[in-house]
């Protein structure tokens, strides 16, 4: 089963946007046993699109296109596909209705130009878009099945997962490559690799590799096996070995996110514990992460963003003398913030953060990246100092994730192993 991927857009071909869709699509297609023959990118030019569709459809059994189905004049994928198919574009009644419902529910008139998004070449199939106004198109070009999806990554991914992947999976039938992902936070990539040791040996089946994204080090387990059952069994064994090596540093798998993992633990813990937040340097990011999770109102009720010292004093009861004596970025202030938040919110736990996110404000004693994180709990309040790497955004992001991780280990009843 050969696959090609085509990205369409001036912003891509001109290099103004880096194409991340193609890499994602490749991973998905490879994971179900496709050989990826080629990626191609062309601009918003109908003839270039036609040429690319013709060429790539001759080299593959499946061609996934992303981009060029927006409502504006520079979106020409549907015209190009119609030209390649030598079929007229026809208005798809089902999608026209969906568009009308979409705009009606927003109490906005449908702009005239959006109607073009319901045009589908005769004989092709409309693919439903649950996240936007661009319908996808599925058509057969020679011996190749062509799927035209939106360029917006979120819309493309939803449509691909729902309408393309199952078809491809069925076609590749049997030659199973299964994979699994485990997520960690707190240790660096090389520390994770050291703990995994021979599990990461090249050529091992299942293979174990690491990838780093947004401070998370993830383990990717890939297996080649004759059947799905056999693959799953082998993945189970390797996952158990990875968990043996890393224990609670692993917070989740697959699509699990750290805030959701913490939320699940809070919901499952006896006595319905709650958590409050008191943030300075992270400016609300910890509260934002906690509330990323649907249903977080069950365990999160109160958060403070005390960016100024007066706010720390007035809102959390941090004493002026403590602030004057130790400075805002200090262990006593972090502890006083967490205690103040816990008592005012009447919560089981409270997290506080005070630090120097940069780019300014660093000193030799307290360089940019210095962050005190405190956790107040029924058994007492502890604080840890970290010096986070990177720029303002990274310092804030890593600090927030570390705060959630401190809470996670408290809920586990174990000390943090780093």
Residues 197-236 close enough to bind a copy of itself by CB under 8 A: 200-202, 209-212, 220, 222
- When asked if residue 320 is in the footprint of a copy of itself (CB under 8 A), the reply is no
In the complex, the smallest distance separating the C-beta of residue 210 from a copy of itself, rounded to whole angstroms, is: 6
Query: Which of 84-92, 231-239, 280-288, 319-327 is the region at the interface with a copy of itself (rule: CB under 8 A)?
Result: 280-288
Member of 143, 297, 321, 379 binding a copy of itself (CB under 8 A): 297
394 secondary structure, DSSP code: H
Binders of a copy of itself among 379-398, rule CB under 8 A? 387, 389-393, 396
348 prior amide bond cis, ω within 30: no
Torsion on CA atoms 82, 84, 87, 91, rounded to nearest 10: -10
Instruction: Indicate the angle between helix axes 309-316 and 331-345, nearest 10 degrees.
Output: 40
Member of 54, 243, 288, 384 binding a copy of itself (CB under 8 A): 288
Query: Which of 19-27, 81-89, 234-242, 317-325 is the region at the interface with a copy of itself (rule: CB under 8 A)?
Result: 19-27
Member of 97, 236, 292, 320 binding a copy of itself (CB under 8 A): 292
Instruction: Quote the longest CA-to-CA distance of the chain.
Output: 80
As a residue count, the chain comes to 418
Give the containing element (helix H, strand E) for 349.
strand 349-355
Query: Which of 118-126, 167-175, 264-272, 285-293 is the region at the interface with a copy of itself (rule: CB under 8 A)?
Result: 285-293
| Residue recorded with tokens 């999976």 | 169
- When asked if residue 9 is in the footprint of a copy of itself (CB under 8 A), the reply is yes
Q: 165 Cβ partners below 8 Å, 6+ apart?
A: 28, 32
In 3D space, the residue among 150, 154, 187 whose CA is nearest the CA of residue 71 turns out to be 150
- When asked if residue 332 is in the footprint of a copy of itself (CB under 8 A), the reply is no
111 secondary structure, DSSP code: P
In 3D space, the residue among 247, 264, 185, 260 whose CA is nearest the CA of residue 218 turns out to be 185
Member of 175, 226, 269, 308 binding a copy of itself (CB under 8 A): 308
Give the containing element (helix H, strand E) for 79.
helix 77-85
Member of 193, 232, 265, 416 binding a copy of itself (CB under 8 A): 193
Binders of a copy of itself among 40-59, rule CB under 8 A? 40-44, 48, 52, 55
Q: Which is nearer to a copy of itself, 291 or 381 (CB)?
A: 291
Member of 174, 271, 294, 415 binding a copy of itself (CB under 8 A): 294
* 158 beta partners: none
| Residue recorded with tokens 């001109």 | 14
> Taking CA 360 as the corner, what is the angle to CA 359 and CA 364, rounded to the nearest 5 degrees?
110
Q: Which is nearer to a copy of itself, 236 or 292 (CB)?
A: 292
Q: Which is nearer to a copy of itself, 284 or 317 (CB)?
A: 284
- Exposure class string for 184-210: b at 16+ Cβ within 10 A, else e: bbbbeeeebbebbeebbeeeeebbbeb
Site string (103-142) toward a copy of itself, x via CB under 8 A: --xxx---xxxx----------------x-----------
In the complex, the smallest distance separating the C-beta of residue 24 from a copy of itself, rounded to whole angstroms, is: 6
- When asked if residue 303 is in the footprint of a copy of itself (CB under 8 A), the reply is yes
In the complex, the smallest distance separating the C-beta of residue 244 from a copy of itself, rounded to whole angstroms, is: 19
Residues in contact with a copy of itself, counted by CB under 8 A, come to a total of: 105
Binders of a copy of itself among 337-366, rule CB under 8 A? 344-345, 357-360
- When asked if residue 22 is in the footprint of a copy of itself (CB under 8 A), the reply is yes
Alpha-carbon gap, residue 19 to 7, rounded angstroms: 8
In the complex, the smallest distance separating the C-beta of residue 371 from a copy of itself, rounded to whole angstroms, is: 13
Q: How many CB atoms lie within 10 A of CB 293?
A: 20
- When asked if residue 87 is in the footprint of a copy of itself (CB under 8 A), the reply is no
Contact between 250 and 184 (Cβ < 8 Å): yes
């Amino acid at each position: 089963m050969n696959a090609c991927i085509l990205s369409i857009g001036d912003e891509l071909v001109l290099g103004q946007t880096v194409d991340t869709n193609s890499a994602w699509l490749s991973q998905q297609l490879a994971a179900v046993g496709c050989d990826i023959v080629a990626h191609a990118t062309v601009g918003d030019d109908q003839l270039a699109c036609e040429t690319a569709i013709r060429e790539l459809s001759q080299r593959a059994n499946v061609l996934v296109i992303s981009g060029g189905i927006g409502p504006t004049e520079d979106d020409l994928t549907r015209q190009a596909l119609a030209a390649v198919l030598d079929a007229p574009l026809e208005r798809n009644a089902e999608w026209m209705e969906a568009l009308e419902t979409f705009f009606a529910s927003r109490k906005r008139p449908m702009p005239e130009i959006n109607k073009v998004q319901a045009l589908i070449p005769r004989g092709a199939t409309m693919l439903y878009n649950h996240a936007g106004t661009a319908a996808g198109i599925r058509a057969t070009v020679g011996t190749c099945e062509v799927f035209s999806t939106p360029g917006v990554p979120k819309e493309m991914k939803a449509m691909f997962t729902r309408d393309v992947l199952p078809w491809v999976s069925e076609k590749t039938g049997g030659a199973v490559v299964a994979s699994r992902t485990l997520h960690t936070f707190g240790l660096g990539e090389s520390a994770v690799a050291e703990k995994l040791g021979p599990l990461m040996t090249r050529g091992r089946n299942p293979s174990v590799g690491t990838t780093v994204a947004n401070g998370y080090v993830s383990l990717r387990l890939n297996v080649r096996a004759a059947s799905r059952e056999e693959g799953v069994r082998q993945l189970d064994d390797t996952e158990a070995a990875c968990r043996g090596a890393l224990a609670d540093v692993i917070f989740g798998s697959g699509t699990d996110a750290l805030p959701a993992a913490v939320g699940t633990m809070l919901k499952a813990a006896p006595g319905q514990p709650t958590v409050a937040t008191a943030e300075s340097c992270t400016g609300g990011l910890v509260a934002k992460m906690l509330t990323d999770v649907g249903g977080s109102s069950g365990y999160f009720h109160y958060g403070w963003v005390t960016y100024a010292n007066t706010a720390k004093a007035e809102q959390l009861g941090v004493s002026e003398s403590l602030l004057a004596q130790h400075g805002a970025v200090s262990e006593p202030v972090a502890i006083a913030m967490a205690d103040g938040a816990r008592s005012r919110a009447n919560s089981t736990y409270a997290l506080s953060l005070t630090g120097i996110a940069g780019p300014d404000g660093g000193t030799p004693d307290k360089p940019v990246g210095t962050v005190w994180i405190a956790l107040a709990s029924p058994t007492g309040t502890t604080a840890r100092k970290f010096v986070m790497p990177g720029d303002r955004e990274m310092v804030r992001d890593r600090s927030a994730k570390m705060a959630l991780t401190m809470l996670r280990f408290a809920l586990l009843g174990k000390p943090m192993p780093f």
